[in-house]
Amino acid sequence: MGLREVAERELQDGLARLRGAHLTGTLPLRQAVLNDLLRLAGAAPQDLRLELGADNEVVARYGVLHFTARIHREVALAPTPVLTIELASRVAAWALQQASLPPFARVTGRHIRIDLSRVPALRAAAPLWPHVARLAVTSRSGRLDLHVTIHVRDEEQQ
């Protein structure tokens, strides 16, 4: 049995065998992988491309249009994990407010808020969300790093 199958089984079992565990790690996502995930999720037009820069800057390219944004470093965790992206342009924000966005994304002002618990590709992680103590994002050219701290609480800590 592979690591993926073990992880999926643990999630389905409510992480029972991991009670009391503290896990900290970084998941690097290359720009190409992130763009492939967007297309696979069906959450974006097929010709949308993201370009990751330093200091959490991201440029979204769609045909001849491009929008610059900055990803907030810390992901809000309560009541659900929400990733916030701040658009550099009010015009881009207005255009997105007029667009049909997936149900897990909403635009308020210049901010795009993505409720990670509602992203279809992350549904299997639902049992994990209550145990995430910290989720942070940093980027460098061509790469996004997800820094995560998980504390699987004992039953008496629940």
pLDDT tens across 30-79, in order?
999 988 877 776 666 778 889 999 999 999 998 888 899 999 999 999 99
In the predicted structure, residue 158 carries a pLDDT above the cut 70: no
Compute the 3-state secondary structure of the chain and give helix, strand, coil in percent, each to the nearest 5: 35, 40, 25
Strand ranges, E, within 89-151 = 105-108, 111-115, 132-140, 143-151
Is residue 128 included in any domain, yes or no?
A: yes
Which of the two residues, 158 and 93, has the higher pLDDT score? Answer: 93
157 in a structural domain: no
Domain that residue 32 falls in: 21-147
- Can the peptide bond before residue 79 be classed as cis, meaning omega within 30 degrees of 0? yes
11 is a domain residue: no
- Residue among 115, 144, 134, 116 at smallest CA distance from 56: 144
Q: How many domains does the chain have?
A: 1
CA–CA separation, 56 and 138 (whole Å):
6
Question: What pTM was estimated for this model as a whole?
Answer: 0.84
Task: Name the burial class of residue 5, with classes exposed (0-12), middle (13-18) and buried (19+) by CB atoms within 10 angstroms of its CB.
Answer: exposed
Helices (H) then strands (E): counts for the chain: 3, 9
Would 30 be classed as within a structural domain?
yes
Query: Is residue 46 assigned to a domain?
Result: yes
What is the model's pLDDT at position 6?
Answer: 78
Q: Is residue 78 one of the residues assigned to a domain?
A: yes
Q: What is the mean pLDDT of residues 134-153?
A: 94
Return the residue matching tokens 């045909």: 63
Tell me, yes or no, whether 8 lies in a domain: no
